[in-house]
Amino acid sequence: MPLTVHDPVGTPTVAVIIPVLNGAAHIDHALASLVTQTVPPTEVVVVDDGSDDDTYERAGRWADLLPLRVIRGEHGGTWHARQTAIAATGSELVLQLDADDMLLPGAVAAMTKAYAERPGLIAPRRLLLVENETEDIPRPVTERLPDSDDQYAYMLVRNYLGVGCLYSRKDYEAVGGYRPCRYAEDWDLWLRFAAARIPVSLPIEPTYVYQMHSGNLSSNIDIGATDLEILGRFLEDGDAHHRLIAKLAYLQRAGLPYVQSLEERAPADSPVAATAAGLSEDDPVEVRYDRDLGYVLVGRAAETGDRRLVVLSPDGQRRLRSAVLPTGLLESNETDPVHHWEGCDLTWWGWH
């Protein structure tokens, strides 16, 4: 168990954690970006997650320039590598860095300043490098946070934070740390931060260079399956409002397989008739019920004849309406407008 590291003049100590798997092509750039920090990190921990290239040896060469520890482990996944890295540090603050990304020179200074002004979860302001597109000149990503105190509600709809966050060890331990998952371990952690009402803030200036390339882990995984894995942990958490949002978000990703897991009801139990919900009364309508979602109706659209799903509150207000694809998935993500940010299109790397 590492000793807690304290700065004698009161400045919080910062550990940069780097999980890496077969990152020989990028790890030198990541570590070089730490050497150039205007405020150096107190600790740097690299966890080699079972690489079969020379990542471990390359990382170790930076030991004379950084307060570095390199840990070689068996492959356990990114969540496990991040967890191992944090367990090996003693600093008060943790700053994420992925092995194929870089910190801008003022990152540690800007992130710790933002934390001092509003302790909580500090999200990065990023520049984006896209393989075969940006020609090594990064472009800015306009980061936005919800215009609401209820950041948990928006986080249930979609992860709006990028890698490169800074947070306190105290908050991390209070919410239970990283948990096993195939992917999106950060989203799982941020959801618990938001549920605990730990505020999310942004630094004033850019701090992080994110690289999109064919070797990204996110380019090689099933996002839909991992989203369901994470959201499935939060379906029964919190109050009725947040459970409803979690279940709508889950339904939009899972489609009919989730509907068929709900309690079956007779069509007469629906708060409105099939025709009032836009469904044909000439075809069978399947009705399901959940205490938070309300009533879920599946039938044929009265006008077009295509298969439709409609979610109604117990008093008959429509919460969601979507076409159902032959696969059983939903065609659209139409949901409560209160959970959309006006004027913004969602991309998987952020709002802009």
pLDDT digits (tens, 9 = 90+) for 57-76: 999 999 999 999 999 989 99
253 and 139 in a common domain? no
Q: Is residue 326 part of a domain?
A: yes
Write phi, then psi, for 211 (nearest 5 degrees): -105, 125
Q: At what angle do helices 78-87 and 185-195 cross, to 10 degrees?
A: 60
Of 33-37, 198-202, 275-279, 319-323, give the lowest mean pLDDT range: 319-323
CB-based contact 47:78 (threshold 8 Å): no
- For the chain, give the percent of residues with pLDDT over 70: 88
Task: State the Cα–Cα distance between residues 260 and 256, nearest whole angstrom.
Answer: 6
The alpha carbon of residue 181 and the mean position of all alpha carbons in its chain are separated, in whole angstroms, by 12
User: For residue 210, is pLDDT > 50?
Assistant: yes
User: For residue 142, is pLDDT > 90?
Assistant: no
Average pLDDT over residues 335-341: 48
What angle (nearest 5°) sits at the alpha carbon of residue 132, between those of residues 126 and 133?
A: 55
Instruction: List the structure tokens of 175.
Output: 């919410």
User: For residue 341, is pLDDT > 80?
Assistant: no
- The band of 108, judged by pLDDT with boundaries at 50, 70 and 90, is very high
Domain CATH number, residue 147: 3.90.550.10
* Domain-terminating residue out of 161, 187, 222: 222
Average pLDDT over residues 211-227: 70
49 and 125 in a common domain? yes
Task: State the Cα–Cα distance between residues 95 and 99, nearest whole angstrom.
Answer: 13
Q: Is residue 61 part of a domain?
A: yes
210 and 283 in a common domain? no
The number of distinct structural domains making up the chain is 2
Query: Is residue 8 helix, strand or coil?
Result: coil
Average pLDDT over residues 169-197: 96
Nearest by Cα to 57 from 80, 33, 24, 17: 24
Nearest by Cα to 295 from 279, 152, 231: 279
* Domain-terminating residue out of 188, 222, 256: 222
Residue 338 identity? V
Q: Is residue 159 part of a domain?
A: yes
Residue-level length of the chain: 352
pLDDT of residue 352: 28
Return the DSSP state at 3: P
142 and 50 in a common domain? yes
145 and 41 in a common domain? yes
User: For residue 349, is pLDDT > 90?
Assistant: no
pLDDT of residue 134: 60
Q: Is residue 7 part of a domain?
A: no
Q: Is residue 4 part of a domain?
A: no
CB-based contact 79:103 (threshold 8 Å): no
Between 132 and 198, whose confidence is greater? 198
Q: Is residue 9 part of a domain?
A: no
212 and 245 in a common domain? no
Average pLDDT over residues 15-33: 97
306 and 210 in a common domain? no
Between 345 and 340, whose confidence is greater? 340
Q: Is residue 227 part of a domain?
A: no
Cβ-in-10-Å burial (0-12, 13-18, 19+) of 306 comes to exposed
270 and 203 in a common domain? no
217 and 79 in a common domain? yes
181 and 100 in a common domain? yes
56 and 188 in a common domain? yes
Average pLDDT over residues 296-319: 93
Q: Is residue 6 part of a domain?
A: no
Beta strands 43-49 and 102-103: pairing type? unpaired
Q: How far is CA 317 from each of CA 152, 271, 310, 336, rounded to the nearest angstrom?
A: 24, 9, 10, 11
Domain hosting residue 290, numbered range: 240-351
Nearest by Cα to 46 from 4, 89, 13, 92: 89
310 and 182 in a common domain? no
Edge-to-edge order in the sheet of strand 126-130: 102-103, 208-212, 126-130, 139-140
* Domain-terminating residue out of 195, 222, 249: 222
Average pLDDT, the chain: 89
pLDDT of residue 131: 76
